[in-house]
């Protein structure tokens, strides 16, 4: 008999890594005969299966005020502590409501017990898990020690308690090998690695008309060459390297397109990129509208482009990230067999590069040799075809998302052996 699985995070909306991977997990779980329900502060899921609590969003004004008082500070005033516990208490009541109304059998906490962007939510969720003994998977995408902004904080007591908590009814999942080792070293918690994945066994569905409309919406001419930066506009994506690449290629036909929205972490970096591109004579096109997740079967906007509408017309992909927990955009470029430039960020070096991908890589800077390799790919159809052919043959099992195999893995290892059979009734 199918079980009710509750996903919990600050946000399930848009194209951030947590949202994207949650959709894939839900797809696998539903194919295994279970039902999925959603709790967050921002949602684009089916309202009938969701509980939207705006105060759970990490950008909610109450949580923003708390973060302003504790991030980058060493001391915490009593009124801040009171505000944290007031919001914790409110969210805890909402979590109980979510569990009871949807008769939740098991929780999957998506990054909510990992990075302290919303301390009250993490505390509330930890208390719920401890009190109910509900089986829980804590899916960790990026820990606080991986972000410099949390180096100095005034909530170390809460971080030790809830980010992540050490409770017997929680199974911990990380997305790369370094996180697994560091989690064990810092807290003694063992975990399982499940990297970001895609369904390489089935090609993406491409709507030719919509992909053509997307290209036209950017104002690109037929002979323009689309160099795609498929990421949100945030500093750790290293987009300035993509601008430098297009500048060094010295061809006015080459247009740099950033496909995802700006403003996720403020607009200052986006404004600087625009100025930087202008100073370098680079034609930078920002797609201002939000992009839909094609795996999410929740709310659909027929006028909204999805990620699958973006890649088909890209001639080359830039992925110069300084840091990634894993790299969804990397896998998507491979999925569409697109030639690509990748910066050797730590997880790529350790977990991805050894799998044998044929890519153009940079190591923190763009050399003339690297730029020439990109130029040769763009100017030589034969080399581009060869690169795509090699990408087609290089789909390591590590990143393979199969509905059947994935459902068996998730169901057998977590939802049954370590999860659902430890029900609250027992």
Q: Is residue 78 part of a domain?
A: yes
Residue 341 lies in domain: 208-397
Q: Global pTM?
A: 0.87
Quick check: helix, strand or coil at residue 280? coil
Residues 17 and 129 in one domain: yes
- Does a structural domain hold residue 425? no
**Residue 202: inside a domain, yes or no?**
no
Any domain includes 223: yes
Note whether 54 and 156 are same-domain residues.
yes
Q: Give me the residue label for tokens 């999410």.
A: 296
DSSP states of 103-157 as a string?
T-SEEEEESTTTSTTSHHHHHHHHHHHHHH---EEEE-S--GGG-GGGSSBS-HH
- Taking the mean position of all CA atoms in its chain, how far away is CA 135? 24
Number of domains forming the structure of the chain: 2
In a domain, 258, yes or no: yes
Instruction: Provide the CB-side half-sphere exposure for 199 (13 A, CA).
Output: 18
Same domain, 28 and 136: yes
Q: In 3-state terms, what secondary structure has residue 51?
A: strand
Q: For residues 11 and 73, state if they share a domain.
A: yes
Q: Are residues 322 and 390 in the same domain?
A: yes
Q: Does residue 190 sit in the same domain as residue 231?
A: no
Six token digits for residue 313: 């017309």
Cα gap 23→9, rounded to integer Å: 13
Task: Kindly state whether residues 164 and 294 are assigned to the same domain.
Answer: no
Q: Are residues 406 and 392 in the same domain?
A: no
Cα separations in angstroms, 107 against 22, 213, 423: 12, 40, 11
CATH number of residue 368's parent domain: 3.40.50.2000
Residue 248 and residue 165 share a domain: no
* Any domain includes 426: no
Same structural domain, 164 and 144: yes
Domain annotation covers residue 410: yes
Do 167 and 39 lie in one domain? The reply is yes
Same domain, 18 and 153: yes
SS3 call for 160: helix
Q: Which among 24, 7, 3 has a CA at the least distance from the CA of 307?
A: 24
Q: What is the pLDDT along the chain (426 residues), one digit of tens a residue?
A: 789 999 999 999 988 889 999 998 998 899 889 999 999 999 999 999 999 999 999 999 999 999 999 999 999 999 999 999 999 999 999 999 999 999 999 999 999 999 999 999 999 999 999 999 999 999 999 999 999 899 999 999 999 999 999 999 999 999 999 999 999 999 999 999 998 888 887 788 888 888 888 888 888 999 999 999 998 888 999 999 999 999 999 999 999 999 877 766 668 898 999 999 999 999 999 876 667 778 887 666 767 888 888 899 899 999 999 999 998 889 899 889 899 999 999 999 999 888 888 889 999 999 999 999 999 999 876 655 555 544 544 544 445 554 444 444 444 445 444 444 443 333
Asked, for residue 240, whether it belongs to a domain, the answer is yes
């Amino acid at each position: 008999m199918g079980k009710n699985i509750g996903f919990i995070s600050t946000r399930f909306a848009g194209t951030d890594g947590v949202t994207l991977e949650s959709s894939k997990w839900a797809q696998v779980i539903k194919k295994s005969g279970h039902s999925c329900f959603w709790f967050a502060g921002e949602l684009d899921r089916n309202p009938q299966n969701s509980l939207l609590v705006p105060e759970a969003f990490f950008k909610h004004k109450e949580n923003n005020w708390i973060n302003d008082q504790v991030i980058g500070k060493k001391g915490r005033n009593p009124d801040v502590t009171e505000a944290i516990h007031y919001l914790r208490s409110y969210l805890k009541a909402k979590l109980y409501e979510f569990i009871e109304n949807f008769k939740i059998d098991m929780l999957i906490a998506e990054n909510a017990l990992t990075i302290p962007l919303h301390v009250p939510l993490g505390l509330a969720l930890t208390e719920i898990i401890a009190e109910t003994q509900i089986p829980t998977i804590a899916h960790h995408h990026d820990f606080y020690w991986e972000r410099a902004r949390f180096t100095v904080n005034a909530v170390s007591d809460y971080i030790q308690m809830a980010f992540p908590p050490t409770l017997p009814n929680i199974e911990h999942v990380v997305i790369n090998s370094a996180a697994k080792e560091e989690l064990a070293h810092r807290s003694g918690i063992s975990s399982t690695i499940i990297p970001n994945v895609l369904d390489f066994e089935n090609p993406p569905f491409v709507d030719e008309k919509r992909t053509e409309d997307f290209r036209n919406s950017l104002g690109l001419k037929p002979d323009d060459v689309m160099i795609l930066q498929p990421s949100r506009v945030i500093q750790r994506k290293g987009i300035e390297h993509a601008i430098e690449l297009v500048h060094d290629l010295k061809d006015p036909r080459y247009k740099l397109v950033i496909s995802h929205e700006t403003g996720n972490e403020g607009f200052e970096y986006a404004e600087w990129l625009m100025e930087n591109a202008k100073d370098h004579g680079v034609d930078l096109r920002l797609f201002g509208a939000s992009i839909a997740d094609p795996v999410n079967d929740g709310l659909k906007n027929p006028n909204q482009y999805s990620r699958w509408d973006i890649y088909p017309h890209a001639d080359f992909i830039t992925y110069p990230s300084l840091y990634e927990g894993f790299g969804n955009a990397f896998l998507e470029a491979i999925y569409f067999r697109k030639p690509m430039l990748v910066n050797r960020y730590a997880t790529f070096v350790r977990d991805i590069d050894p799998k044998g991908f044929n890519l153009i890589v940079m190591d923190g800077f763009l050399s003339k040799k690297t730029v020439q390799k990109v130029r040769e790919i763009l100017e030589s159809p034969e080399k581009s075809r060869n690169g795509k052919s090699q990408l087609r043959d290089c789909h390591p099992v590590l990143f393979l998302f199969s509905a059947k195999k994935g459902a068996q893995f998730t169901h057998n290892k977590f939802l049954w052996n370590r999860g659902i059979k430890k029900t609250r009734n027992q």
